[in-house]
Amino acid sequence: MTDPVHAKPDDRTLVRIRGLTTVLNGKTVFDKLDMDIPRGKVTAIMGPSGTGKTTLLKHITGQMRGKVGEVKVDGLNVPELARDQLFELRERIGYLFQNSALLTDFDVFENVAFPLRQHTKLPEVLIRNIVLTKLQAVGLRGAASLMPSELSGGMARRVALARAIVFDPMLILYDEPFVGLDPIALNQVLKLIRTLNETLCITSVLVAHELDAIKQVADHIYLIANGKVVAQGDPKTIADDGSPWTRQFFGGDADGPVPFQYPADDYAEALGFKQGAA
């Protein structure tokens, strides 16, 4: 078996997924899923609710393991990593949670400083300089003393982003970064994602539903459903590829490849009616 620590990374692909099969509570979430996420780009993962988009992020960070398959990040096969190797990899990955997940008892400065205090022994003066630099990058250095309860939704998302980049990661995972944002805050977050991706030379993966927003920031879109990639392509053209999957998802149709009715037993039998009864 190849030592995952010394695996040779791909110069063009940061995350490589091959044959990933995941079964949860008897339901197949991924069925031999294949996906490549290129270095230095913004890649969007889209799909109907319940198709495993957040679950895919958990595979990338090693929080979950598939039944079979390979998930490689920077050449490292994540399911094969030892505990200390996995923690080392995670320090190179930033994660923006759906609800920002700020610590309510800490002010903005301490929320951003938290990972540094937990995982390093840096002197206080250096922690201060790093935190203020990251807050400056997201336009919130002046809000360092505010509590999370004093922040708007957009500001909270930007603080969470400052915390996600505090270790200068090679990869940032965004889980529904646009939910609940007003148009101004949305555009601010979109600008930050694009700017940080380019200035820090990082790779970004976004899980989102908002196609108009994705079109402004993503380089490539994967549409997943039924455990597989059903469409992929440039954000400006993927919605017009003519497939039933993209037509239903981007058109918002209630019925299509993704059915309105969840699989169930015969309706008449469930109501107690026997076939052939008068």
Q: Which two tokens stand for residue 111?
A: 């929320």
Spatial separation of the C-alpha atoms in residues 64 and 53, rounded to whole Å: 13
- Per residue in 110-126, pLDDT (tens digit) is 999 999 999 889 999 99
The pTM (predicted TM-score) of the whole model is 0.84
Task: For residue range 187-238, list pLDDT tens digits in order.
Answer: 989 999 999 898 888 999 999 888 888 989 999 999 998 889 988 988 888 8
Distance CA 170, CA 167 (A): 9
* 125: in domain: no
CB-facing half-sphere around the CA of 30: CA atoms within 13 A: 28
Question: pLDDT tens digits, residue range 89-108?
Answer: 999 999 998 888 899 999 99
Give domain status of residue 120, yes or no: no
User: How far is residue 8 from each of residues 93, 111, 140, 147, 221, measured CA to CA in Å?
Assistant: 19, 35, 39, 44, 26
Count of other CB atoms within 10 angstroms of residue 24: 12
159: its two tokens: 């603080």
- Please provide the average confidence, as pLDDT, over all residues in the chain: 87
Is residue 203 in some structural domain?
yes
Residue 113, domain member (yes or no): no
Does a structural domain hold residue 177?
A: yes
- Check: CB of residue 138 under 8 Å from CB of residue 192: yes
- Going by C-alpha positions, the residue among 242, 212, 228, 260 that lies closest to residue 47 is 228
Sheet containing strand 13-24, edge to edge, reads: 27-38, 13-24, 68-73, 76-77
- In terms of average pLDDT, the best of 72-86, 174-188, 248-262 is 72-86
Residues 78, 133: Cα–Cα separation, whole Å: 31
The total of structural domains in the chain comes to 1
Q: Is the pLDDT of residue 278 over 60?
A: no
Angle between helices 124-137 and 108-119 (to 10 degrees): 130
Residue 25: per-residue pLDDT: 85
The H or E element spanning position 203 is strand 203-207
pLDDT at site 259: 64
With respect to residue 159, please indicate whether it lies within any of the assigned structural domains: no
CATH at 59: 3.40.50.300
pLDDT (0 to 100) of residue 210: 85
**Residue 269 within a domain:** no
What are the residue ranges of helices labelled H in 82-152? 83-90, 108-119, 124-137
Calpha distance 252→232 (Å, rounded): 18
For residue 56, being part of any structural domain is answered with yes
Q: What is the pLDDT of residues 136-152, one digit of tens each?
A: 999 999 999 999 999 99
Of the pLDDT bands very low, low, confident and very high (cuts 50, 70, 90), residue 249 is confident
Q: What domain range includes position 78?
A: 9-99+170-259
pLDDT for 1 equals 44
Answer yes or no: are the C-beta atoms of 134 and 166 closer than 8 Å: yes
What integer pLDDT is reported at residue 242 of this predicted model?
A: 67
pLDDT at 239 over 80: no
- Our CA dihedral for 203, 70, 115, 133, rounded to 10 degrees, sits at -10
